[in-house]
Amino acid sequence: MLFLVFLVAMLLSVVLMPLLMKHAQRFGFIDAPDPRKVHVTPIPRIGGLAVVVGTVAPILVWLNLDSQILAFLGGVLIITIFGVWDDRTDLDYRLKFAGQIAAALLVVVVGGAVIRNIPFGPAGGLPDFIAMPLTVLFLVGITNAINLADGLDGLASGVALLSIGVIALLAYLAEGEALLLLALAVSGAICGFLRYNTHPASVFMGDTGSQFLGYALGFMVVILTQNVNPAMSSMLLVLILGLPILDTLSVMIQRKHAGRPLFSADRNHLHHKLLASGLHHYEAVASIYILQGLFVGAALFLRYESDLVLAVIYLAACGAVALFIRAAHYVRLESVQPASGYRFDRVLRVIRQHVIFQEGPLVFLVLALPVFLLGGALGASDIPKDFGVLAAIAFVMLAVRLIMGFKAWFLLLRLLIFVSIAFVTYLFEMGSPSVPDDLFRTIEFAFFGLLAVAVVMVVRYRLNTTFKITPMDFLVILAMLSIGVIPEDVRETYHLVPVIVKLVMLFYGAELILKTMKSRWSPLPLASLVALGILALRGLQG
């Protein structure tokens, strides 16, 4: 179920995004450039709706809709309505605050999400007449902190994803199943959004998305520290939200010192200062990811330390961030361009222009993914009945899509192909031997190694693009590194490491095939159809 919650949220977000982008201008959801912004062309700011839908759908299906979850969903509805309104008309900040306060009051009064344990607070907790207004203030503050941080491609969503990831892990350790499922739903929707928002972005989340992420993040961290595991240090709340809190407070202090309104627009945010220091867009975003990763890492490993210890660590980290910004003004690594014109370079250019080099990697992808789908569907040792039912539904939908052939349904085609890849990868991994023999390990390693090489070569040479490291790649790297701190029983139960690594490569490969595919009757869609049929038959019979 954990896998399905994340997968459904991600796929809904991925599939809805292009559809919303297509109609963004028609409905007035366009972000025009101005002197304070870093983009120079109008970009749709409608991605937040896909994130909201991607999150809410699996919640409605898999979560127990108790009063707390219903209150959260009611707050999401309020935040979404005001966010959409703001994205279309640029609301007065007082109206935005009214919507945020209404959403916060709902989860505090009805949902019972109340901050009673605060750093250095009384042992028995704060009384309600103090705790409830304080919680509303906190939720509104975090909602705006994430909203204010949404200044670069992938910035706010990536920072939120890092925080939500550690919340999910801590919820699992404390057996907070509802919070874990909620965190996975939001994480999946963010991953789908980042597919289109990493630099250079083709869509923005707008106030709808940034306020939703801030609201959801604030709610989850309150539930984690106050309800799911109140034994953890109350300073954990500050560490998990480390960089957004630091950035917002520093900007407010600077505005107050300059005698300007606290909510006036400026370029004093952390990302603006990193850009001003000479860092490129993706370098600034990656730097902030790393800094936020240090904050959430400290929250994970020091969760039972005293408030004083965590407060000292947080202040020291804030000082380190300030030094980092100042150092960035003086030190910047310039990229070194390789010398050209040597004989070896000329040989390489001839090789790259050869038809085998240009077309070979794509041909490999076109053949390799169908082979994997068919082999995985047949090789998986056990297909649960619920997967069989879902595979049967997906099989019927894909068959109809291929027969009807409406071009407008290309998003559905992409969704169903991704579903088939995810199902086959997960089921084959769960059903394969825990310790495969040497021959199987060698074949598997060679297959995915060649797949990774082919993806890189197609991106760089076949599509005539320059292969660059993007902020999304840094998030993937951080996710891979974080797998080491996930409890061993979780990794073994859900085979997280191989499933995640394989899905990343397979999804990239499928996306490249779809970009160059000229007919719906290509090997990948047909193999997806057959694989879903095999999974459906085996699951329903078993």
The pLDDT score that the predictor gives to residue 342 is 44
Distance from CA of residue 120 to its chain's centroid? 34
pLDDT, tens digit, 9 for 90 and up, residues 276-326: 777 777 778 888 888 888 899 889 888 898 999 999 988 988 888 888 777
The letter for the amino acid at 526 is L
Distance CA 37, CA 21 (A): 20
Distance CA 160, CA 50 (A): 16
At residue 199, what are phi and psi to the nearest 5 degrees? -60, 130
Distance from CA of residue 7 to its chain's centroid? 12
Residue 339 pLDDT exceeds 70: no
Distance CA 347, CA 176 (A): 59
The pLDDT score that the predictor gives to residue 334 is 40
Q: Indicate whether this model's pTM tops 0.85.
A: no
Residues in the chain: 542
Q: What is the DSSP letter of 469?
A: -
Pair of tokens at residue 482: 């974080």
Residue 220 pLDDT exceeds 60: yes
Neighbours of 523 (CB within 10 A): 16
Pair of tokens at residue 182: 């909620």
The letter for the amino acid at 532 is L
Distance CA 442, CA 450 (A): 12
Residue 348 pLDDT exceeds 50: no
Residue 330 pLDDT exceeds 50: yes
C-alpha dist (Å) from residue 213 to 7, 76, 156, 185, 522: 18, 10, 8, 12, 39
Burial class of 105 by CB neighbour count within 10 A (0 to 12, 13 to 18, 19+):
buried
pLDDT, tens digit, 9 for 90 and up, residues 98-145: 999 999 999 999 999 999 999 888 888 899 999 999 999 999 999 999
Domain boundaries, the chain: 2-330, 343-541
The pLDDT score that the predictor gives to residue 472 is 57
More confident of the two residues 170 and 458 = 170
